[in-house]
Amino acid sequence: MTTKPLQRGDRAQHVVNQIREAIITGALAPGSALRQEELAANYASSRMPIREALRTLSAEGLVQLIPNRGAIVAPIDIEELRENFEMREAAEVLAIRLAVPHLSNAQIDQAASIQKQIDTAPIQDFGPLNKAFHCTLYAPAGRPRLIAHIGSLHDIADRYLRFTLLHLDYIDRSSSEHEAILDACYRRDIEVAMRLTSTHILEAGRTLESYLREHLGTRLRSS
Residue type, position 129, single letter:
L
- Which ranges of the chain does DSSP label H, i.e. alpha helix? 8-25, 36-42, 47-59, 78-99, 105-120, 126-138, 144-164, 171-186, 190-216
Looking at residue 78, its pLDDT comes to: 87
Q: Using 50, 70 and 90 to split pLDDT, how confident is the model at 166?
A: low
Q: Using 50, 70 and 90 to split pLDDT, how confident is the model at 162?
A: confident
Fold of 8-73: Arc Repressor Mutant, subunit A (1.10.10)
Q: What is the pTM of this model?
A: 0.75
Sequence ranges of the domains in the chain: 8-73, 78-219
**Is the separation of the CB atoms in 28 and 68 below 8 Å?**
no
What is the tens place of the pLDDT at every residue in 87-128? Answer: 999 999 999 999 999 999 999 999 999 999 999 998 878 989
User: What kind of architecture, by CATH, is found in domain 78-219?
Assistant: Up-down Bundle (1.20)
Q: 153: closest CA among 99, 107, 95?
A: 95
**Is the separation of the CB atoms in 57 and 23 below 8 Å?**
yes
**Is the separation of the CB atoms in 71 and 62 below 8 Å?**
no
* pLDDT greater than 80 at residue 221: no
The residue that leads in pLDDT, 24 or 163, is: 24
Q: Is 17 helix (H, G, I), strand (E, B) or coil?
A: helix
Pairing between strand 33-34 and 63-66?
unpaired
Q: Which of 45-54, 71-80, 102-111, 119-128 has the highest mean pLDDT?
A: 102-111
